[in-house]
Amino acid sequence: MDTTPSPFASKLGTNYCPTDADIIEIQSLLVEPLSRLRQIHSRIADLQKTIDELAEERAALSTYVDSHEALLSSVRRIPLDILQEIFVACLPTHRNCIMNAREPPVLLGRVCSAWRNISHSTPRLWARLHIAEPQIPADASLDAIREQKYMQRAEVIDAWLRRSGQCPLSISVFGCSNSFGVSPESSGPLLRTIIPFASRWRDIDIAAVNTTALEVLSSVTDKDVPMLETVHMRGISESRQQANTQWAALGLLNGPNLSHFSFVGACRDPIVFPLQWAQMTRLSIASQGVESPRPSFDEPTGRRDSLHVSQTFGSVSSSWMTVFRYRLIYLEKPSSSFRVSVHSVSPVSASR
């Protein structure tokens, strides 16, 4: 319908008050437009009904088609062993896995029940774990909460490591010192959780090692760690003399296959570590302790291998190692301490 020019065009949008004659004329002008408007409303309602019916039919068809097309998805046809390899390839390569639902392997189990079953039955996905202690303020009123948090964390750790089957384990533990508001005893509960799996330890990295942690670890003997190859430790021991005594009793450092060892922290005498020096291929010790007695080394008759030695001490006379058949020695003096690196030498043994 074409609308003709209104005789009231100049009055539209103003506060003009129509007369009785104007009202009759306006009502006459609106008869046909109102009729047409009702027709349009009716037609739109009919069309909307048709659209709603089509939309409902489309939703039903889409559900039917999508559910059947899902059966044709190529990922469903991937053999189990290949899918497991894909899952393993999703893991981080520069660090151990964390207990977080936004990262694999936990994330993989959140996709669907099938993937959860596959991930839980793939031991290699659970062979690496980073453990962080709960950050809870040291408040006496929160003892019950703290205990509950540690118990929950320990249960998750135990379930995680049990899924690893018989795979060698790489475990890192981030402990909390007093500066974080956590008591020194806090490192014990989580370390006790991983002790039953010591026979499969391959790489162990423990940060913030205190006397409580050493007491827990002292229960592990060299016979308990047949697979252990690498140990990294960072200490915050309160008493160096007490710590040295505890280090000497740490049987896991005498493991039959331990070849890499690094330590950062308070250590008065590096020779206190009960290492099998003849099989060490990488050794790094950084300490603020005083200069230790100079050990003597005897060349073993066993295999020849390379040894990398890196030591940093507060005292400048820090070269406490003598080794046989140097091929390359790298010395640098960062600030007030020496760093000694020795490459490609025979294995060594140490005694006082």
Supply the pLDDT for residue 212: 80
CA of 126: how far to CAs of 103, 166, 168, 248, in Å? 13, 10, 10, 32
Q: Which residue has the tokens 């140990």?
A: 231
Supply the pLDDT for residue 328: 35
- Reply yes or no on whether the pLDDT at 307 is more than 70: no
Percentage with pLDDT > 70 across the chain: 70
List the domain boundaries for the chain.
Answer: 20-71, 270-352
Supply the pLDDT for residue 138: 59
Mean pLDDT of the chain: 78
- What's the pLDDT tens digit per position in 77-135? 999 999 999 999 999 999 999 999 999 999 999 999 999 999 999 999 999 999 988 87
Contacts of 124 (CB under 8 A, 6+ apart): 84, 88, 164, 167
Supply the pLDDT for residue 76: 87
Supply the pLDDT for residue 36: 92
Least confident range from 66-70, 250-254, 286-290: namely 286-290
Query: How far, in whole angstroms, is CA 188 from its chain's centroid?
Result: 20
Under DSSP, the state recorded for 257 is T
Average pLDDT over residues 251-277: 84
Supply the pLDDT for residue 352: 39
Both tokens assigned to 295: 């050990």
- Reply yes or no on whether the pLDDT at 286 is more than 60: yes
- What's the pLDDT tens digit per position in 6-36? 888 888 989 999 999 999 999 999 999 999 9
Nearest to 214 by CA among 197, 229, 231, 228: 231
- What's the pLDDT tens digit per position in 321-334? 433 333 333 333 34
Supply the pLDDT for residue 344: 39
pLDDT band per the 50, 70, 90 thresholds, residue 351: very low
- What's the pLDDT tens digit per position in 115-126? 999 999 999 999
- What's the pLDDT tens digit per position in 44-84? 999 999 999 999 999 999 999 999 998 898 888 999 999 99
Supply the pLDDT for residue 178: 42
- Reply yes or no on whether the pLDDT at 179 is more than 50: no
Helices (H) and strands (E) in the chain, counts: 8, 11
Work out the end-to-end distance of the chain between its first and last CA atoms, rounded to an integer number of angstroms: 110
Nearest to 224 by CA among 188, 203, 195: 195
Supply the pLDDT for residue 190: 86
